[in-house]
């Protein structure tokens, strides 16, 4: 095959590979939006639990367990890496030092 023929062939193939992916279906967008809303609701619940813990002077056993459960759901159902959820728990005030390196 000549160089000119290869160039012509590749020129014809490039548009096929560079085409944009089709837009996600409305069903897929709805699912993704629902997933984001569920994550937002979890984070809002955690913020309310933090405010309650601040009023009570800290995270007692039940509030502590609820916050850990929220972190677990964020990891398992929403794809958060363990290091991200541990950093989030530190920011929320569950413990003083970052334990993400121990996981």
Instruction: Name 89's Cβ contacts closer than 8 Å, sequence gap at least 6.
Output: 67, 68, 71, 95
Q: From first to last of the 103 residues of the chain, give the pLDDT tens digit.
A: 566 665 665 566 555 555 556 666 767 776 677 778 889 999 999 999 999 999 999 999 999 999 999 999 999 988 899 999 999 999 999 987 645 555 4
Ranges of each domain in the chain: 35-103
pTM of the full predicted structure?
A: 0.64
Structure tokens at 99: 């334990």
Instruction: Name 70's Cβ contacts closer than 8 Å, sequence gap at least 6.
Output: 42, 45, 46, 49
pLDDT score at 29: 72
Task: Tell me the backbone φ, ψ of residue 97, rounded to 5 degrees.
Answer: -110, 155
3-class DSSP state of 59:
coil
């Amino acid at each position: 095959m000549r160089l000119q023929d290869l160039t012509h062939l590749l020129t014809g193939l490039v548009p096929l590979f560079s085409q944009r992916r089709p837009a996600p279906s409305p069903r897929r967008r709805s699912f993704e939006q629902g997933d984001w809303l569920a994550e937002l609701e979890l984070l809002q619940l955690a913020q309310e639990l933090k405010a309650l813990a601040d009023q009570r002077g800290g995270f007692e056993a039940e509030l502590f367990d609820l916050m850990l459960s929220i972190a677990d759901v964020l990891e398992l159902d929403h794809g958060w890496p363990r290091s991200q959820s541990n950093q989030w728990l530190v920011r929320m005030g569950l413990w003083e030092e970052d334990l993400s390196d121990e996981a």
